[in-house]
């Protein structure tokens, strides 16, 4: 016995799946969304990494200020040095400027990331200004 299909059931059965074009369009939309999400995730990761680096540099600058205050250091002109802290190598550039008071000086501290392999400063990360006072003995 041969099964007979009506024209209605044949058309319903025939159109129940997706065509190749529909699948390709859906994949293209999914790929575009995936690329956009990947770019957002990469930007977030880079921003987080930069924030961590800036925070480390700020701690280095604050440590340098604290050492100057503890040692009652009076800076003449400019000074540069490289140190390793926070698992990074930093260059600290300090410059002193006189103020209206002879017992107070304005100190600018620039902390930069130092590339030890290349032997050069890569980029300035943070800049701090503080006022140093001379302790009279």
Average pLDDT of span 25-43: 95
CA-angle at 83, arms to 69 and 115, nearest 5°: 140
Its pTM stands at 0.71
Q: Which two tokens stand for residue 70?
A: 């503890």
Indicate if the alpha-carbon torsion angle 118, 119, 121, 125 is positive or negative: positive
pLDDT at 11 over 60: no
User: Phi and psi for 94 in degrees, rounded to 5?
Assistant: -120, 140
Domains of the chain: 20-133 (3.30.1300.30)
pLDDT tens for each residue of 83-109: 998 888 999 999 999 999 999 999 999
């Amino acid at each position: 016995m041969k099964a007979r299909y009506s024209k209605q059931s044949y058309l319903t059965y025939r159109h129940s799946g997706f065509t190749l074009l529909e699948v390709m369009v859906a994949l293209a939309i999914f790929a575009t969304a995936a690329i956009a999400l990947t770019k957002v995730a990469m930007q977030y990761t880079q921003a987080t990494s930069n924030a961590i680096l800036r925070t480390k540099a700020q701690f280095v600058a604050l440590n340098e200020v604290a050492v100057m205050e503890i040692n009652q250091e009076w800076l003449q002109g400019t000074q540069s040095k490289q140190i390793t802290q926070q698992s990074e190598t930093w260059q600290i550039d300090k410059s002193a400027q006189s103020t209206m008071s002879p017992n107070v000086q304005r100190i600018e501290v620039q902390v930069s990331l130092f590339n030890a392999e290349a032997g050069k400063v890569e980029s300035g990360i943070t800049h701090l200004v503080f006022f140093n006072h001379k302790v009279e003995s």
